[in-house]
Amino acid sequence: MSRMIHYLVLLTAWMLWQLPVGAQSPSKVPFQGIDQTWQNGADRRDSSVFSEAKYFIPSVLLDINYNYSFNAPIDNTVVGSTALARHNEVQLSALHVGGDFTYDHMRARVMLQFGTRTTLVPRNDYSSYRGQYDLASVYRYLSEAYAGYQFDVAYGLNVDAGLFLSYIGLNSYFQQENWEYQASYTSDNTPWFFNGIRIQFYPAKNLKIEPWIINGWQSYGKFNSMPGLGGSILWMSEDSNLKLITNNYYGTDAAGIPDRVRFHSDNSVLARYLHRPGSKGISQMAFSITGDIGFEKGGGVNGFSGSDPANPAQYFTSLMVYHRLWFGAKKYAWTVGGGFMENPGRYLVLLPSGQASPLPDPNNPSATAGQFPFSANPGDPFRAWDVSTNIDFMPNPGLTLRAEWVYREASVPYFAGHGGVTSQTGYATSPLDPSWRPDLVKSEAKVIVALLFRM
């Protein structure tokens, strides 16, 4: 495997050496004229107020939410979500500030992030416990930071290195681009970011082929010696009504278990089947379907085959489906949908912490933090499903006010119950009662109100 990676790197370097550099900007622009504003996981604006800028286009996003869980945890802590952190409080989930630089084929994008997501997302990456330096703190205030070069080949060839967003699971990391606020398990339990090298090749106006050589599965560092390998193929119809995308990944992402490999395939279909521009009634109707399948094999687990208790099945299957309807001159939209997940071994489950502590078990770097960790042993069962619906008010393309209802259920106690997950009083400073345990329950219903701003 290491020899194959070595040859792949040499072949890529040779190909890049042969490409023309220093030419004029390409006249062919990928996806030009294709309307993506209706798509789940895409920017709903058709332009930026800064689009006339020559070398730098700024970007500012604000995501503010209020979440009320009917479980009413006494510590106001939400578990099992990368979108929500606190119950019954107004929270700044994310402030993103940055933009895009372009000059003479050079390109770079930098997006800083602040808010609760700077804790919610890095806490799920355990690669930083390998070796020294606190990678989670180093990177937590960056959502994207990469630089690269654009070559004039076909409709464009970009070679970038750094920290970039993942689209495994369809949903965008930026809530302003998603139809739903609380992502279904297919998206919330798959990567939000990658750290490494990305190549984007556009052989035709409506086609993108994108290989990755990365540190690993949503990991700042590497769990073992092998890099993660993967890629994406995206196609859109020229009438703007259909989008197909497949994302695939292969790597070794079990901490300290280099013999355990992971494969994951993520596939989506998005279709707009009604489009009546200018209508003050129903102006658009569309749906998205995303299905994922994957497994881990080796190092004590056996993919989809679980007949041997000493070598149990460890895999991931999921589906999510959403339907969206726009009305009132596209100033309003109604979305309904949901999905399910099955993940024996819980290797992609967002592990809820049990009574916060600085580090997970030092003898098990993949374990969740806390004195009462949520088990993720080989073969541990986990199934979950969810449904949600929301109404959006969008007075202009850069502002959304969303009201959403969500119900989620799991096969094992997983969500924060009324007793919370911190202590018997709800405060981390309270000495623990010896009989206290985190209050995890099998279901939760919640209401979310979010204000989403983008410029």
pLDDT tens track for 110-157: 999 999 999 888 877 878 888 888 888 889 999 999 999 999 999 999
Within 10 Å of residue 103's Cβ, how many Cβ atoms?
Answer: 10
Element (H, E) at 4: helix 2-18
Q: Is residue 14 part of a domain?
A: no
Q: How much is the pLDDT for 48?
A: 78
Q: Which residues pair with 233 in a beta bridge?
A: 209, 246
Average pLDDT of span 370-381: 84
Domain holding 355, by residue range, is: 55-454
Average pLDDT over residues 70-74: 97
Whole-angstrom Cα distance, residue 253 to residue 222? 8
* Domain contains 32: no
d(CA 335, CA 338): 10
Alpha helices in 191-293 (DSSP H): none
Over the chain, what is the mean pLDDT? Answer: 90
Place of tokens 């997006």: 111
Interacting residues of 396 by C-beta distance below 8 A, sequence separation 6+: none
- Confidence category of residue 18, pLDDT binned at 50, 70, 90: very low
> Which two three-digit tokens encode residue 386?
């969810």
Most confident of 170-174, 360-364, 430-434: 170-174
**The pLDDT value given to residue 440:** 95
pLDDT at 20 over 60: no
Determine whether 380 is exposed, middle or buried from the number of CB atoms within 10 Å of its CB (0-12, 13-18, 19+).
middle
Contact predicate 165/192, CB 8 Å: yes
Q: What is the mean pLDDT of the segment spanning 264-288?
A: 96
Query: Is residue 68 within 8 Å of residue 446, measured between CB atoms?
Result: yes
pLDDT band at 364 (very low <50, low <70, confident <90, very high): low
Tell me if 140 is assigned to some domain: yes
DSSP state of 177: G
359: domain CATH number is 2.40.160.10
12 in any annotated domain? no
Work out how many domains the chain is built from and give that number.
Answer: 1
User: Which of 168-172, 347-351, 398-402 is predicted least confidently?
Assistant: 347-351
Mean pLDDT, residues 314-337: 97
The answer to whether the beta carbons of residues 453 and 398 sit under 8 Å apart is: yes
Nearest to 161 by CA among 210, 201, 212: 212
Residue located via tokens 């023309």: 20
